Structure 1
Amino acid sequence: MTLKKDRFDPHTSFFDLAIVRISFGALSFLALIALSVIIIMSNLKPNFSYEGFNLFLIIFRFPIGLLALLIPVVAVLAANHRSAQTKEQMRLTKKQIKKTQKQIKITTENNAFSNYFKHSEEFEKHIKPRTLEIGITSKNPRKLHRILFPDAKQGVFHISKPTLEKIDADLEIILQASNAFSDSKIMERGTKFLYSIMSSLPTKYNFDNPTINKDIAQEFGTNSANQMIIQAINNFARSIIAALEFDEKSVPTDLLRALSEFNYNTLRHTPLNFKEGVLTFNLRDEVRQIVERYQAEAKMAQTYNQEISASA
C-alpha cells in the first residue's frame, strides 16, 4: 500500500483520518465475513467450559488474526501521522522564525534610519556654530556628516580609523605643497599652487573659507600672502577637529592637531631664514616638532600615571 502524504493531514486528528477509518472498516469487515462463513459452514454447538473457550480460539483464529492486524496497522499509521505532524510543526516553526527575523530586520532598519537622521540633525546643530567661531562656513553639514560617518545608515555612529587616515592623507597633500615656504626661489609659484589647494580641499568637506576664497590682495611669495595661507590651513584643521568632536570618543590625529595649532607669528627671524624681507620656513619640520612635543607629553603623562599606580 502506498501512503500518500495528504492521507496524513497533520491538522486532522488521528481517528478522523480517512485511511485510519478505512483500515479499521476493511479489517473489521473481513473479520466479520470470515466469522460469518465459519459459523454458517460449521456445525457448532455452545460449550461454555474451558474446552469450549479454547476451541473457540482455535476455530475463530483467522477472524481474530484479522482483528489483531489492527494493532500493527494502527501503530504504523500513528507513526506516520506523528511524523507528518512533526514535519508540519518544524515547517511552521521555521516560517515563524523567518517572519520574526524579517520583522526584526525591518524594525532594525527603521530604527537605524531614524537614528541616522537624528544623528545627522544633531551634527548639523553642533557644527554650524563651531565653524562660525573659527571663521569657516559649513555649506552642507549633511554631506560632511556622510563623509565623517559613512556607515551611519547602518547604525555606526563613530569616527572610524580609515576616516581619520583619509583626513591625514589630505593633510599630507598640504604638507607636500608647503615646501614652497622653504625656498624663496619657488615661493611665488609654489604658494600660488598651495593657495589653489586650500581653495578646493575645504570644498571636499563642504567648508567655505571666506579668507581663502576672497580675491587675494597680496602678491604670492610675500609674508602677508604666506600668513594668509597658513591661517587658511589653521582654520581648515580646526574645523575638521570641531566636526570630529561630535563623536566624544574620537581623537584627532597628531598631524591634524599640529596643523591647527601652528602659529605663523611664532616663527623666529634669523639671518638664515629672513632675507630680502621674506621669511622662509619648513612647515613640515615645524609640524613635526609640535607632534614630537605631543608625544613627549603623552609619554610623561604615562610615566607619571605608572608611578602613581605603583605607589598606591
Structure 2
Amino acid sequence: MKSDIFDPHKSFLSLKILWIVVAIHFAIAAIFSILIIYNSNLTPSYDYAGFNNALNIFKIPLGILALIIPIVALLAANHRSEQTKEQMRLASENNNFSNFYKHTEEFESYLTEHEESKTKISLPRKFHRLAFPGAKHGNFKVGERIVSKIDEHLLDIILESAGLNDQQKWAEAADRLDFLIQRYAETFYIKSYYSSTSGNSVPVFERTVFIPDGDLKNLIVSVKIISEKIRDALLFDERYEPSELLTEVIEFDYSKIPSSNITNASNYKPFDFRALFMEKSKVI
C-alpha cells in the first residue's frame, strides 16, 4: 500500500481511507437492511424474543458491519508501519547529515595538516563533493567518476605534450598544453601549482603562456605537482587506491626531461615527454 494513502504525518483518524472503508460498509449494511425491511412482513416486538429475532433477521447487515473492526485494525497496523518507516528514514537522514558534516570537517582538517607546500586545494568543500559524491547518503568512498576524470585529464596532457618535440611549433604546443594543465588544476580546485613564481611569459596568439623559471620542463613538472596534491587528498579515504596512470605520472623520473630554457627561442631543445613516459608506462 502506498504511503501517500497512509500518510505517516497524519493521525490515523485523519486518514481518508479509514472513513471511506467505514462509509462503504455502513452503506452496504444499510442497503441490505432496507431490502430486508421492504421485502419482509415484520412486526415490531421489544421483548427479548423480538431482539433475538432481530439479530437473526439482520445478521447479514450486522456481519458486514462487523467486518469494519478487523479491517480498521489492519489499516491501523499499516499506518503504524508507515510511521515507523518514516521515523527510521528521518533518523537515517539525520545520522547521514551529521556524518556528512563531520566527514567534511575532518577532511578540511586533514588537508590543513598535510599542507607541506604552497600548492593548495582552494575550495575544500567543493573538492569533497567531487571526491565523495555519496557522502550525503552515508557513502564515504571515493567516487569512481573522479578517478576516471583524473585519468582523462592526464591522458589528454600526455598526448598533447608530444607537440613540444617540434622545433618550429613548440610555442603553439606549449599554449595548448598550458590550457590543458590549467583545466586539470581548475577541475580539482588546485592553485599555486607552479614550481616557481618567477619565469617567462610567452605570447601565443591571444594568450600568454607562463613558463616557470623559463624552463619548459617545469610546465610538465607542474602536472606531477597537481597530481600529487589530488592523490594525497583522496588518500583521506583509506580504501582509495590511485589509478595506475596517476601513480605512473607521480613516480615518473622527471630528470629524464632535458632542460629547455626559452629565454632564447633559438636555443630551445625539443623533447618528447609522451615518448619518454610511454617507455615505462604499462597503461598507455
Q: Root-mean-square deviation (CA), in Å? A: 3.6
Cα contact 1:134–1:235 (8 A) shared by 2: no
1:94 CA displacement: 1.7
Q: Which SS does the other structure have where 1:211 is aligned? A: coil
Cα offsets for 1:99-126 (capped at 9, x unmatched): 1121111111111111111111111112
Where in structure 2 are the equivalents of 1:143-158 lying within 5 Å?
Answer: 143-158=126-141
Structure 2 partner of 1:217: 200
Cα contact 1:222–1:278 (8 A) shared by 2: no
Distance 1:108 1:95 in 2: 20
1:241 is the counterpart of 2:224: no
Q: Which SS does the other structure have where 1:165 is aligned? A: helix
1:208 CA displacement: 0.8
- Tell me: CA distance 1:208–1:215, structure 2 relative to 1, closer, same or farther (3 Å): same
1:162 is the counterpart of 2:119: no
Where in structure 2 are the equivalents of 1:227-238 lying within 5 Å?
Answer: 227-238=217-228
Cα offsets for 1:135-179 (capped at 9, x unmatched): 411211111101111221122211122221122112122123212
Q: Which of residues 12, 20, 45 is equivalent to 1:30?
A: 45
Query: What amino acid is aligned across from residue 284 of structure 1 in structure 2?
Result: R
Q: Which SS does the other structure have where 2:45 is aligned? A: helix
1:114 is the counterpart of 2:80: no
Unaligned runs of 5+ in 2: 1-20, 27-32, 203-208, 260-265
Indicate the structure (1 or 2) with the bigger Cα radius of gyration: 1
Q: Which SS does the other structure have where 1:30 is aligned? A: coil
Structure 2 partner of 1:263: 253
Where in structure 2 are the equivalents of 1:118-137 lying within 5 Å?
Answer: 118-130=102-114, 132-137=115-120
Q: Percent identity?
A: 21
Cα contact 2:193–2:225 (8 A) shared by 1: no
Where in structure 2 are the equivalents of 1:163-178 lying within 5 Å?
Answer: 163-178=146-161
1:251 CA displacement: 1.1
1:216 CA displacement: 2.7
Cα contact 2:200–2:214 (8 A) shared by 1: no
- Tell me: CA distance 1:73–1:210, structure 2 relative to 1, closer, same or farther (3 Å): same
Q: Which SS does the other structure have where 1:225 is aligned? A: coil
- Tell me: CA distance 1:86–1:291, structure 2 relative to 1, closer, same or farther (3 Å): farther
Distance 2:272 2:106 in 1: 39
Query: What amino acid is aligned across from residue 90 of structure 2 in structure 1?
Result: I
1:235 CA displacement: 0.5
Query: What amino acid is aligned across from residue 162 of structure 2 in structure 1?
Result: N
> Matched residue pairs, number?
238
Cα offsets for 1:237-295 (capped at 9, x unmatched): 111111221111111111111111222213489xxxxxx86544332333334332x99
TM-score calculated relative to the size of structure 1: 0.64
Q: Which SS does the other structure have where 1:189 is aligned? A: helix
1:205 is the counterpart of 2:195: no
- Tell me: CA distance 1:163–1:7, structure 2 relative to 1, closer, same or farther (3 Å): closer
Where in structure 2 are the equivalents of 1:174-189 lying within 5 Å?
Answer: 174-189=157-172
- Tell me: CA distance 1:246–1:238, structure 2 relative to 1, closer, same or farther (3 Å): same
Query: What amino acid is aligned across from residue 145 of structure 1 in structure 2?
Result: H
Distance 1:262 1:80 in 2: 83
1:196 CA displacement: 3.4
Cα contact 1:136–1:210 (8 A) shared by 2: yes
- Tell me: CA distance 1:139–1:6, structure 2 relative to 1, closer, same or farther (3 Å): closer
Q: Which SS does the other structure have where 1:217 is aligned? A: strand
Distance 1:107 1:218 in 2: 57
Structure 2 partner of 1:92: 76
Where in structure 2 are the equivalents of 1:46-61 lying within 5 Å?
Answer: none
Cα contact 1:134–1:238 (8 A) shared by 2: no
